[in-house]
C-alpha cells in the first residue's frame, strides 16, 4: 500500500451560493484523507493523543485546479511523502467522479509530546507499522 483513497460527498453547507465548494473546505477534505490513512495502519488521532502525542499541522499548501461542487463525490488520495522523523508529511490529490483533478496539496504535521509540550520523534509503533510502506 503506498496511498489511501477515501470518498467524500460534498454537502450543501460546504458550498457558496453558486454551489461551488468554499476553498477552506479543501483543508478539511485533506484531514479526512490523513485520518483514514492512519486508520489503515490501525491508528487514530484519539489513540495517539491518549499515548501523549499530538499532531498539529505546521504547514499546509493547496493548489486549486478545478472547482468541486455540491453533491459531487470526491476522491481524496493521500500518500506519505517520506518516512517520518519529528514530523510527518503527506501529499494529496482531490478528484471528482469523472476523475478530473480538482486540487493537490501537502501538509506537514509535527509530533508533539503533550506532557512536555515539546516536539518529539515519531513514535516507534508508527515507524514499526510503516516498515513495509513503499514510498
Annotation marks residue 16 as catalytic: yes
Q: Are 68 and 96 in contact, with CB atoms under 8 Å apart?
A: yes
* Three state DSSP letters for 42-70: CCCHHHHHHCCEECCEEEEEEEECCCCEC
Of 16, 71, 99, 132, catalytic: 16
Q: Which cell goes with 87? A: 514530523
Q: What distance in Å separates the CA atoms of residue 45 and residue 124, rounded to the nearest whole number? A: 16
Residues labelled as active-site residues = 16
Amino acid at each position: 500500500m503506498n496511498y489511501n483513497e477515501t470518498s467524500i460527498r460534498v454537502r450543501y453547507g460546504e458550498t457558496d451560493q453558486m454551489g461551488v465548494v468554499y476553498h477552506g473546505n479543501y483543508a478539511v477534505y485533506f484531514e479526512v484523507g490523513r485520518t483514514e490513512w492512519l486508520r489503515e495502519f490501525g491508528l487514530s488521532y484519539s489513540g495517539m493523543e491518549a499515548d501523549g502525542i499530538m499532531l498539529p499541522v505546521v504547514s499546509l499548501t493547496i493548489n486549486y485546479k478545478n472547482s468541486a461542487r455540491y453533491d459531487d463525490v470526491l476522491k481524496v488520495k493521500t500518500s506519505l511523502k517520506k518516512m517520518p522523523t519529528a514530523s510527518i508529511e503527506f501529499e494529496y490529490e482531490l478528484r471528482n467522479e469523472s476523475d478530473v483533478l480538482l486540487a493537490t496539496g501537502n501538509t506537514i504535521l509535527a509530533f508533539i509530546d503533550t506532557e512536555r509540550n515539546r516536539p518529539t520523534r515519531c513514535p516507534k509503533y508508527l515507524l514499526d507499522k510503516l516498515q513495509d510502506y513503499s514510498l
